[in-house]
Amino acid sequence: MKFASVVLISIAALVAAKDSDSHTNLRTASAVSFQQSACNDIKDEKHCFATKDEGTGKSCVWCDCQAVPSVCVTPDQAEGLPPGVFDCKSPDKTFFDFHLEDGRTHQLKETITEAGAENICDASSKSISGYMDVKGSKYDESGDKHLFFWMFEKRNSHLLDEEEASEIPFVVWLTGGPGCSSTLALLTENGPCSVNPDGKTTKINPYSWTEAAHVLWLDQPAGVGYSYGDENDSGEAMVSEDAYYFFQAFFQAHPEYSKSPLYIIGESYAGHYVPAITHRIWKGNQSPCEKCIDINLAGLAIGNGLTNPEEQYQWYPEMVWNNSHGIKVVDESVYQAMKAAVPKCVALIHQCNQGDNTIDNFACQTAFLVCNLALTSPYQATGLNPYDIRKKCDKPPLCYDFSNVANFLNLESTKQALGVDESHVHNWNACNYGINMKFHTDWMKDFSPYVADLLDAGFPALIYAGDVDFICNYLGNQAWTKGLAWKHSADFNAAEVHDWNGGAGLARSSNGFTFLQVKDGGHMVPSDQPEVSLTMLKTFLSGGEF
């Protein structure tokens, strides 16, 4: 019997022993292939990396273990090894295991493409894509989740020395929905490339946010985009817990990025996600778990977000009648009816935010139905695009044709290049409407107090909003920033509103808090105003004046 086969038999025993522990077992024993391979005959790491598995055509995987000798295995065999026992890596994919809390193991699986290598998006930057696997969490003991991410380094950062590279900001981008894919934003808004009309090739985006920072796009919660697993998340406690441990695993696996200042940024329903996740990281840094590291949190930004529904829903009538572009979206009778509906809506949202008991949650669900029927449905009845009041909704429900993006992300070659788990992810979709429905109780919750906590702790925050978006409009976002109770609120409200960037926007800024109205920007500012959005990002990350 060959040496490698002996080790694999011992691996099988380890898997069987682990399988009874739902908190630590991320891969079942059935995932391990015991079929002999040329990989199993190799005894050193260098030759292991240079050899291809005849079954998959991919590089063999080298797995280190303290308890038994290191082994060379196939990719399928590596997938089935018990988390926390082996650390595996290959030129195609790297596996990291982390015991972070309460016996739970988080596994990070990655595909790394170095700068200059052939790349499906942007060859000028190193990219990392893959999955964070976690089974069980504080708010979801039986959950089995696999969160997909795609990260690009700042363009040409590989030319910098280690000290210079450590100062590059690290941005995490979260798309809202809830239930929509951040990978969509990468390819249509602020990523290093966009998809050509043929749905098979890409072109460089000169205004990519990777001009200013390392950027990671995270598909979350499970079930969104390329992510998969138990679709149990229904609120920000679960979302922020999963995200916190994602960052713990990622920065422990990649200490080269751990010194970079971290900014959490997102749009739309990320007006919930961003404050909750940033707040969780801040709290985690104050009292980390035993094996957790300090995360170099630096700030947060929200674009056209839903953060304080009680305030923001009041401004829907004004957005259809008194917006900065002078567009009368509805008849005056409809405008007056919308205004008349505001008090009842506000009362329901207020009750929703009194607690988390049955009555409060019923108020949340009632508010979702009543407020949207009275205040957003009249707009939808016009046939206009809720993300840009100047346009018709050409392709409901998202109003934009993303078929080229969907075609590209569903190509076999794209999935293989990104390390997508094709055994579980058959089709990428822009949004998962089943997940959207799970957040209807969470929808009307107010997360602006988290922003206040973070501002009081000294973290800068940027709230920006394109001024032709209806659904998360600039009027509502401006109102909640002015009404926010924090220690410098008086200074913020006294600050002069002034032109920014040669008339590209109107800004109010004081003591690290900025509200920016972006002229001629819709719901997706980086898509509508790419050059302006990049300038905005650079200003924010550098601590510059707005």
* Residue pLDDT, tens place only, 168-190: 999 999 999 999 999 999 999 99
CA 267 from chain centre, in angstroms, equals 10
Using alpha carbons, select from 194, 106, 182 the residue that is nearest to residue 150: 182
Residue 427 has pLDDT above 60, yes or no: yes
CA 447 from chain centre, in angstroms, equals 17
Taken as a whole, the chain contains a residue count of 546
Cβ partners under 8 Å of residue 152, min gap 6: 121, 122, 125, 126, 127, 191, 192, 208, 210, 214, 215
Phi, psi of 511 (to 5 degrees): 50, 40
- Pair 180, 227: CB distance under 8 Å: no
**Residue 103 pLDDT grade (very low, low, confident, very high; cuts 50, 70, 90):** low
Global pTM?
A: 0.84
| pLDDT tens string 1-37 | 232 222 222 323 323 333 333 222 222 222 333 467 8
Domain boundaries, the chain: 1-88, 161-327+393-546
Q: Which fold has domain 161-327+393-546?
A: Rossmann fold (3.40.50)
Three-class secondary structure of residue 471 per DSSP: coil
Average confidence (pLDDT) over 288-301: 90
By annotation, the residues acting in catalysis are 268, 469, 523
In degrees, rounded to 5, the angle at the alpha carbon of residue 238 between the alpha carbons of residues 143 and 352 is 130
- 69/23: higher pLDDT: 69
Ranking 51-55, 219-223, 283-287, 491-495 by mean pLDDT, the lowest is 51-55
- Pair 99, 105: CB distance under 8 Å: yes
Using alpha carbons, select from 113, 86, 89, 111 the residue that is nearest to residue 97: 86
**Residue 44 pLDDT grade (very low, low, confident, very high; cuts 50, 70, 90):** confident
- Pair 494, 509: CB distance under 8 Å: no
